[in-house]
Amino acid sequence: MSPPAAAALPPAPPPTGDRATVDWGRTHYVSARHWQEHLVAQRLAGGIGDTLVFTEHEAVYTLGVRPGAARHLLWNKEEVARRGIEVVETNRGGDITYHGPGQVVGYPVVSLAARKDLHAYLRFLEQVLINALGCLGLAAGRRPGQTGIWLGRRKIAAIGVAVKRWVAFHGFALNVNNDLAPFAGIVPCGISDAAVTSLRQELGRECDLAEVKAVVAAEFWAEWRKFVDTTDVH
């Protein structure tokens, strides 16, 4: 069972003005969602600065707000329970996806007040992951008409966000060493004509999660400086 939503909060990021990267380690999705909401409230109140959170979730299918997302859960509840996978509704954009150990999940809790453009923010997150995967040895890219990161027709990262008074939360899930079998139980992100892949599958070896997080964090903050610099935005 998941811990209650009121589970103790992890250590707080630094006070406002400082950009922070924090790692929550392994979490249940319900607790992490509660903690995100707490950070959003702090960011809105000016109590913390922009924050990038990393975590790995216990096995869970999450349903986004897109209409019909529940229809893309293919396994019945008995099979889902047998495999030890939770099913949770959430308030992020997008369809259904899977999170599990070995996957790097990133939750930026950041203010978009300087650039109120959600479409541009999604493209920003995609660029962060494209850059990071390039540093890790993979030439990834976008797929026209689809949010996320791709290697040809193989999806390696999913993106889904929410915004409250121009503070963004939720974020991205990058497949690193996680078991890909649970993706067979869903139509991932509602896309039926694509496969799912991971860094481990593409590179043929186990990857160091700490290294992956460090690379993603470096690319995130480098791109963030460009994103919030509105002098070149027309």
Splitting the chain (234 residues) into consecutive groups of 10 residues, what average pLDDT does each group show? 52 75 95 94 94 97 87 91 94 88 98 95 97 97 90 93 96 97 83 83 97 98 90 48
**120 domain-assigned:** yes
**2 domain-assigned:** no
Per-residue pLDDT, 5: 45
* Residue count of the chain: 234
State the Cα–Cα distance between residues 123 and 159, nearest whole angstrom.
Answer: 10
**106 domain-assigned:** yes
Per-residue pLDDT, 234: 39
Q: How many domains does the chain have?
A: 1
Residue-wise over 202-225: b if at least 16 C-beta within 10 A, else e? beeeebebeebbebbbebbeebbe
CATH code of the domain containing 210: 3.30.930.10
**99 domain-assigned:** yes
Per-residue pLDDT, 1: 33
Residues facing 26 on adjacent strands: 56
**234 domain-assigned:** no
C-alpha distance from residue 28 to each of 37, 54, 79, 88, 98 (Å): 15, 13, 20, 11, 13
**142 domain-assigned:** yes
State how far Cα 35 lies from the chain centre.
15
**5 domain-assigned:** no
Structural domain harbouring 52: 20-228
Per-residue pLDDT, 139: 96
Tokens standing for residue 196: 């799912």
State the Cα–Cα distance between residues 17 and 14, nearest whole angstrom.
Answer: 8
**61 domain-assigned:** yes
What is the three-class DSSP state of 172? strand
Contact 49, 15 (CB under 8 A): yes
Annotated catalytic residues are: 189
Which amino acid, residue 218? A
Per-residue pLDDT, 98: 94
Smallest Cα–Cα separation from 95: which of 125, 71, 65? 65
Task: Find the DSSP H helices in the chain.
Answer: 29-45, 77-82, 118-135, 199-203, 209-228
Per-residue pLDDT, 66: 86
Per-residue pLDDT, 95: 86
pTM for the complete prediction? 0.90
- In sign, the C-alpha dihedral spanning 106, 109, 114, 116 is positive
